[in-house]
Amino acid sequence: MRKNARRAPAGLLPFDLRSLETFLAVAEARSFTGAARQLGLTQSAVSQTIGQLERQSRLILIDRKLKPLALTVAGAALRERAQSLLGEARRIMPRVRETASLKLPIVRIGLIESLLPLLAPALGIELRFYAEQLSILSGVSDAHRQGLVRRMLDIAIAGDAMEDVDGLERHPILQEPYVLLLPRSYGVRGHIDLKRLAAELPFVRYTERSPMGRQIELYLRRRRLEIPLGHAYDGTHGVVPMVDAGLGWAITTPLCLYDVPPAADRTRCVVLPTPGLARNLTLVARRGELGSIPARVAGLACRVLKTQLLPALARIMPEAQKRIEIG
């Protein structure tokens, strides 16, 4: 038992590929000098490599008493297997390079509607190197959640981080404050009292089909604001025109207003009174299925938001722009 305890740990290889290559050169040349010439090494280096290989394997591989040199039985067995092993090793990198150049058949991405015009062109350019086909679906976050769970989508960028689902990777994309969109005719300046606002103007809602709509309704309930049901829309394309027409007020986000710009001469936008509310967008994908593609898409989304969204908001909503976090 004491003797076994001094042996090399189980699984430790008794050779490396370079020593096998040297051994095969000696077996072919049947001399250390010929092998050294073939490998571009010194005779001493070749001899030392073979000696170390024999010590590590605890076998005599070369019969040095014979001239020219000859292989022992163990050496002959090693040569047979070493040739196959080295041949396979030489094929590994070409195969890896070939695999790396292959494209995925298709990548399917779900985006909330407000991100679609910003990201779709950039995604088309970025992913042409990685996928034969690119499918981009827009819609509410709940649809993207089901798409990922049912394997109808590969990646989703939405307001639902799906923290209750295992086996996913997540990349933060955007945190943005909610803002009030008001008719310019509503003349209150400075601090805005939401309770008074709700009593004086109809509230234009997002439906609760989306996390955004549900988050806004929860915020209003926590503020003890019981606002009568009125107009409700699935998306910003329905909400903004109502406020543009002076028919009510709304709670939305800077990204939504970038996607559907309100008329500047008929509306104004202010950040929600304290305590405010924020929306988080997250990229979600099944872990380990697409390699580096989810991280690449997340990085691309952050770059586009920084270069396109932030400068626009700095001009039209500077207060909201200062509260935005990307990535």
DSSP 112-156: -GGGHHHHHHHHHHHGGGTEEEEEEEES-HHHHHHHHHTTS-SEE
- 6, part of any domain: yes
Is 16 inside a domain boundary? yes
Phi then psi for residue 296, to 5 deg, are -65, -45
Q: Is residue 11 part of a domain?
A: yes
Rounded Cα–Cα distance for residues 248 and 126 (Å): 41
Domain span including residue 60 = 2-100
Classify residue 239: in a domain, yes or no. no
Give how many domains the chain has, as a whole number.
1
- Map tokens 């819609």 to a residue: 139
Give the CATH number of the domain where residue 20 resides: 1.10.10.10
Are residues 156 and 301 in contact, defined by beta-carbon separation less than 8 angstroms?
A: no
Cβ contacts of 159 within 8 Å, gap of 6 or more: 112, 141, 210, 211, 212, 215, 279, 280, 281, 282
Give the pLDDT of the chain (327 residues) as one tens digit per residue. 334 434 444 456 667 888 889 999 999 899 999 999 888 889 999 999 999 999 988 889 999 888 898 999 998 999 988 888 888 888 777 666 655 667 788 899 999 989 999 999 999 998 988 888 999 998 777 888 888 988 899 999 988 899 998 889 999 999 999 999 999 888 766 678 888 888 899 999 999 888 889 999 999 999 898 888 888 998 899 999 999 999 999 999 999 999 999 998 899 988 887 777 899 999 999 988 888 899 999 999 999 999 999 999 998 888 888 999 998
Best CA proximity match to 69, nearest among 33, 44, 22, 39 = 33
Tokens 């699984």 -> residue: 11
Q: Is residue 275 part of a domain?
A: no
Round to whole Å and give the CA distance between 211 and 203. 18
CA triple 250-252-258, angle to 5 deg: 120
**Residue bearing tokens 């406020």:** 243
- Beta 62-63 vs 70-71: how paired, if at all? antiparallel
To the nearest 10 degrees (0 to 180), the angle between helices 43-57 and 32-39 is 110
Q: For the whole model, what pTM was predicted? A: 0.67
- Answer yes or no: is 220 within a domain: no
- Give the three-class secondary structure for 326: strand
How far, in Å, CA of 117 to CA of 307, rounded?
A: 14
Q: Is residue 113 part of a domain?
A: no
Q: Is residue 155 part of a domain?
A: no
Residue 148 burial by Cβ neighbours in a 10 Å radius (0-12, 13-18, 19+): buried
Taking residue 85's Cβ as centre, other Cβ atoms within 10 Å add up to: 14
